Amino acid sequence: MDDRVDCYSGTEYADRPEKIRREGVWRRITGIRAERRLPDGKQFEVETEGGEKFLLTYAAAQDRWTIRSIP
Protein backbone atom coordinates (compact mmCIF):
# COMPACT_ATOMS: atom_id res chain seq x y z
CA MET A 1 0.00 0.00 0.00
CA ASP A 2 1.22 3.45 -0.91
CA ASP A 3 -0.50 5.36 1.92
CA ARG A 4 1.81 6.83 4.54
CA VAL A 5 1.62 9.20 7.53
CA ASP A 6 4.57 11.33 8.68
CA CYS A 7 4.27 12.50 12.28
CA TYR A 8 5.94 14.68 14.83
CA SER A 9 6.90 12.43 17.73
CA GLY A 10 7.87 14.07 21.00
CA THR A 11 7.33 12.11 24.20
CA GLU A 12 5.73 9.24 22.26
CA TYR A 13 5.20 8.11 18.69
CA ALA A 14 2.62 10.00 16.65
CA ASP A 15 2.06 13.03 18.86
CA ARG A 16 0.85 14.98 15.81
CA PRO A 17 0.48 13.96 12.15
CA GLU A 18 2.13 16.48 9.81
CA LYS A 19 1.56 15.11 6.31
CA ILE A 20 0.08 12.13 4.52
CA ARG A 21 0.79 10.37 1.25
CA ARG A 22 -2.42 9.17 -0.33
CA GLU A 23 -2.57 7.63 -3.81
CA GLY A 24 1.04 8.70 -4.41
CA VAL A 25 0.49 12.39 -3.57
CA TRP A 26 1.87 14.11 -0.45
CA ARG A 27 -0.58 16.38 1.37
CA ARG A 28 0.38 18.72 4.22
CA ILE A 29 -1.94 18.66 7.22
CA THR A 30 -3.14 22.13 8.15
CA GLY A 31 -5.51 21.25 10.97
CA ILE A 32 -6.37 18.51 13.42
CA ARG A 33 -10.14 18.50 13.96
CA ALA A 34 -10.22 15.70 16.55
CA GLU A 35 -7.85 13.29 18.31
CA ARG A 36 -8.75 10.05 20.07
CA ARG A 37 -6.89 7.38 21.98
CA LEU A 38 -7.92 3.86 21.03
CA PRO A 39 -7.29 0.64 22.98
CA ASP A 40 -4.50 -0.19 20.51
CA GLY A 41 -3.43 3.14 19.07
CA LYS A 42 -4.59 6.60 18.05
CA GLN A 43 -6.99 8.25 15.68
CA PHE A 44 -6.99 11.72 14.16
CA GLU A 45 -9.49 13.64 12.04
CA VAL A 46 -7.41 16.01 9.91
CA GLU A 47 -7.75 18.58 7.16
CA THR A 48 -5.14 19.08 4.44
CA GLU A 49 -4.01 22.23 2.66
CA GLY A 50 -6.40 21.42 -0.20
CA GLY A 51 -9.38 21.29 2.16
CA GLU A 52 -9.67 17.51 2.06
CA LYS A 53 -10.59 15.73 5.29
CA PHE A 54 -9.23 12.36 6.39
CA LEU A 55 -9.52 9.94 9.27
CA LEU A 56 -6.09 8.59 10.23
CA THR A 57 -5.99 5.49 12.43
CA TYR A 58 -2.80 4.04 13.89
CA ALA A 59 -2.79 0.40 15.06
CA ALA A 60 0.23 0.06 17.35
CA ALA A 61 0.29 -3.76 17.44
CA GLN A 62 0.63 -3.88 13.64
CA ASP A 63 2.59 -0.60 13.43
CA ARG A 64 0.24 0.39 10.62
CA TRP A 65 -1.70 3.47 9.57
CA THR A 66 -4.96 3.49 7.66
CA ILE A 67 -6.17 6.61 5.86
CA ARG A 68 -9.82 7.13 4.95
CA SER A 69 -11.48 10.13 3.30
CA ILE A 70 -14.31 11.68 5.33
CA PRO A 71 -16.92 14.33 4.47
**pLDDT tens for each residue of 6-25:** 999 988 888 999 999 998 99
- Fill in the amino acid letter for 32: I
pLDDT score recorded for residue 2: 72
pLDDT score recorded for residue 1: 55
CB 27 within 8 A of CB 9: no
- Fill in the amino acid letter for 11: T
The domain in which residue 40 lies consists of 4-69
pLDDT score recorded for residue 13: 86
pLDDT < 70 stretches in the chain = 1
Of 51, 63, 70, the residue nearest 14 (C-alpha): 63
Domains: count for the chain: 1
pLDDT score recorded for residue 62: 93
